[in-house]
């Protein structure tokens, strides 16, 4: 394997060396168990300080790419992906496996790179698609995701989620409770991110507990939200007699809300409440699922090098 180091580059020599060794392993130019040149030999060959080579080797050893064998030298590791615990290393090894298999089947490095670029260009979604049979719940889920991410969000029922024009450019999402129904309707091989329901403890965390004579009003356009909120509040030991429930689809639902000790509502209905209400928004999607969506948007939005 040949290594080129540029002393005029902004990239440190240590990083240049480590990266090229990784690329050599990924492309199978360096095979598992192969002995690498010594620190002194690499330093002499490329006219760099031995400490630079040592630092690169230590970094590669820490990341699991190479191993030091006492009295023998430095060798490329024989890695087991299933046993790897570092997420970044797992990803590196998956990429390494992809390159190795492709090379074994006769594909050149240039071909692999070209196909990867094409695949990423055609597969990167530009919006989330919330697949949910209940229209009111779907609208709330869309509102929560829009509020939490910078991604465009669309919605679809089960009857529409198999249509190619609906899925084009979409990253499908569904609640765990709908997983089987949604997957049965999606075309085979279509990936779908499943969202978890927010738990009772996380929904009521930091909630000021009302006194026995204070009224808490729950209001939503979605009837099941009213049932869901009742379950959570009773589980939190709130007196059922202190709770009032209003369907925001009915006329006059806003009347007198300002007099409630607190108004509990969903993300969509919260924007319609009268000013002066003490509002507590109960979100449906768990924090972990929202974090997953945020990380996803960062990944697909990052510019390619």
For the purposes of burial, counting CB atoms within 10 Å of the CB of 65, is it exposed (0-12), middle (13-18) or buried (19 or more)?
buried
pLDDT < 70 stretches in the chain: 1, 9-10, 26-28, 79-94, 96-97, 118-124, 199-213, 235-237, 301-305
Q: Which residues pair with 217 in a beta bridge?
A: 244, 263
CA distance 233 to 226: 11
Q: Tell me whether domains 13-120 and 124-198+289-300 share a fold.
A: no
pLDDT value for 83? 44
Out of 3.40.50.720, 3.10.580.10, 3.30.200.20, 1.10.10.10, which CATH number does the structure's domain 13-120 have? Answer: 1.10.10.10
pLDDT value for 245? 93
pLDDT value for 201? 47
C-alpha distance from residue 6 to each of 9, 10, 14, 47, 84 (Å): 5, 9, 11, 11, 32
pLDDT value for 92? 67
Among the listed residues 155, 151, 147, 156, the one whose alpha carbon sits nearest the alpha carbon of residue 271: 147
DSSP 3-state of 264: strand
CA distance 259 to 280: 15
CA distance 286 to 292: 10
Q: Topology of domain 124-198+289-300, per CATH?
A: Rossmann fold (3.40.50)
pTM: 0.56
Domain ranges for the chain, please list them: 13-120, 124-198+289-300, 203-282
Cβ atoms of residues 230 and 245 within 8 Å: yes
Q: What is the pLDDT of residues 223-254, one digit of tens each?
A: 888 888 887 777 666 778 888 899 999 999 99
pLDDT value for 25? 76
Q: What are phi and psi of 69, to 5 degrees?
A: -110, 120
Cβ atoms of residues 155 and 139 within 8 Å: yes
End-to-end CA separation in angstroms for the chain? 24
């Amino acid at each position: 394997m040949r290594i080129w180091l540029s002393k005029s580059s902004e990239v440190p020599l240590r990083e240049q060396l480590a990266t090229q060794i990784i690329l050599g392993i990924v492309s199978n130019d360096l095979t598992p168990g192969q002995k690498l040149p010594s620190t002194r030999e690499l330093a002499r060959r490329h006219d760099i300080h031995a400490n630079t080579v040592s630092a690169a080797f230590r970094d590669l050893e820490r990341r699991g790419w190479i191993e030091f064998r006492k009295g023998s030298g430095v060798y490329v590791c024989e890695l087991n992906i299933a046993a790897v615990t570092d997420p970044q290393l797992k990803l590196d090894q998956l990429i390494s496996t992809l390159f190795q298999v492709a090379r074994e089947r006769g594909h050149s490095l240039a071909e692999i790179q070209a196909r990867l670029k094409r695949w990423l260009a055609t597969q990167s979604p530009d919006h989330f698609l919330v697949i949910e049979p209940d229209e009111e719940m779907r609208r709330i889920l869309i509102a929560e995701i829009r509020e939490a991410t910078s991604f465009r969000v669309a919605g679809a029922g089960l009857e529409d989620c198999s249509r190619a024009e609906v899925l084009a450019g979409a990253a499908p999402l569904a609640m765990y409770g709908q997983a089987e129904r949604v997957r049965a309707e999606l075309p085979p091989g279509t990936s779908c991110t499943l969202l978890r329901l927010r738990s009772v403890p996380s929904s009521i965390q930091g909630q000021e507990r009302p006194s026995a004579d204070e009224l808490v009003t729950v209001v939503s356009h979605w009837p099941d939200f009213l049932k869901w909120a009742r379950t959570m509040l009773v589980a939190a030991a709130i007196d059922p007699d202190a709770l009032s429930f209003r369907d925001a689809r009915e006329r006059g639902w806003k009347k007198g809300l300002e007099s409630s000790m607190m108004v509990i509502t969903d993300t969509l209905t919260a924007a319609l409440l009268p000013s002066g209400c003490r509002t507590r928004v109960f979100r449906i999607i768990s924090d972990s699922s929202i974090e997953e969506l945020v990380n996803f948007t960062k990944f697909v939005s990052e510019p390619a090098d």
